[in-house]
């Protein structure tokens, strides 16, 4: 197997050295959370969603995040416009299909984006990935009602169909490009008890994609980094409020050497 532990260390060091600008068109609930996660990791976030500026902004960035958590039709138009510009510039585009399967608008919007532009990585929970593949899975609001194993076949099929790396996050994350498959066992139960943990993972995947040309490697190593930071936060926090602060601190203090030592890939 590829030495993802060493690659995780190299990617984290590169993010901190290069401080890539990550353009986020993301939801209103998590803008502050994901911006702080990117800053703590060493990247530079910008949040811009107006159709009048997204093409110009993405031209300055090293990667683009599209997150449909608080969706409007105007935002879908901005996402497609930004993604097409990123495609022209050969910048990675990471899609977070928040709540796909919960409402027709969300499922349709995610598929519309996939049809209109080339997406590098799709990160979602099991129900979201199954909804994009099958069109039948449902979610409980934006929460999954399925386990990662339930979505393995859908992840591989979706990856092959749209040409994107697909990450299904949960207790053990699954990352696939339709041929290769990596599982990431890092994480902590309290990560599911705070707002924006999945959205932060998506943003960190974009940051790692800015420095690692292999989308599967970038995705798996970013998830290991985020999961290990969660583990470290869990050693000092007993409940969600303190955990959120501790997680931000861990993203900042976790060293490349500790990440190489603590990453768990299979």
Q: Where are the domains of the chain?
A: 4-262
| Whole-number Å distance between alpha carbons of 78 and 101 | 22
- The pLDDT tens digits of the residues spanning 6-26 come to 999 999 999 999 999 999 999
Helices (H), the chain: 4-18, 31-41, 54-60, 73-89, 104-116, 126-134, 152-162, 197-209, 215-234, 240-253, 256-262
pLDDT tens-digit series, residues 212-231:
999 999 999 999 999 999 99
Residue 83, helix vs strand vs coil: helix
pTM reported for the whole predicted model: 0.95
Local confidence band at 128 (pLDDT 50, 70, 90 cut-offs): very high
Res 18: pLDDT: 98
Instruction: Please tell me the predicted confidence (pLDDT) of residue 147.
Output: 84
> What's residue 171's pLDDT?
93
CATH 3.20.20.70, applies to 4-262? no
Name the phi and psi angles at 172, rounded to 5: -125, 120
CB of 229 closer than 8 Å to CB of 250: yes
In whole numbers, what is the pLDDT of the chain averaged over residues? 95
In tens, the pLDDT along 228-263 reads 999 999 999 989 999 999 999 999 999 999 999 999
Whether 146 shows a pLDDT value over 90: the answer reads: no
Strands 165-168 and 173-176 turn out to be antiparallel
Is residue 140's pLDDT more than 60?
Answer: no
Q: Which residues of 36-69 are buried (b: 16+ CB within 10 A; e: fewer)?
A: bbbebbbbbbebbbeeeebbebbeebbbbbbbbb
Q: According to the model, what pLDDT value does residue 135 have? A: 67
């Amino acid at each position: 197997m590829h030495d993802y532990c060493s690659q995780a260390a190299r990617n984290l060091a590169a993010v901190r050295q290069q401080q890539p600008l990550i353009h986020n068109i993301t939801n209103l609930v998590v803008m502050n959370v994901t911006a702080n996660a990117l800053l703590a990791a060493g990247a530079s976030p910008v949040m811009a969603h107006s159709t009048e500026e997204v093409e110009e902004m993405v031209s300055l960035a090293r990667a683009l995040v599209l997150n449909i958590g608080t969706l409007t039709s105007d935002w879908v138009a901005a996402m497609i416009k930004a993604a097409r510009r990123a495609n022209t510039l050969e910048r990675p585009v990471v899609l977070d299909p928040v709540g796909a399967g919960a409402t027709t608008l969300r499922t349709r919007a995610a598929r519309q984006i996939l049809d209109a532009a080339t997406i590098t990585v799709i990160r979602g929970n099991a129900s979201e990935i199954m909804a994009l593949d099958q069109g039948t899975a449902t979610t409980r609001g934006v929460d999954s009602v399925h386990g990662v194993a339930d979505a393995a076949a859908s992840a591989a099929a979706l990856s092959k169909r749209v040409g994107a790396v697909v990450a299904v996050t949960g207790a053990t994350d699954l990352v696939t490009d339709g041929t290769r498959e990596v599982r990431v066992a890092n994480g902590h139960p309290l990560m599911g008890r705070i707002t924006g943990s999945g959205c932060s993972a998506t943003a960190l995947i974009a940051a790692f994609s800015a420095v690692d040309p292999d989308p599967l490697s970038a995705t798996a190593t970013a998830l290991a980094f985020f999961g290990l930071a969660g583990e470290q936060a869990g050693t000092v926090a007993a409940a969600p409020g303190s955990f959120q602060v501790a997680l931000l601190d861990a993203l900042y203090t976790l060293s490349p050497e500790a990440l190489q030592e603590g990453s768990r890939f299979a």
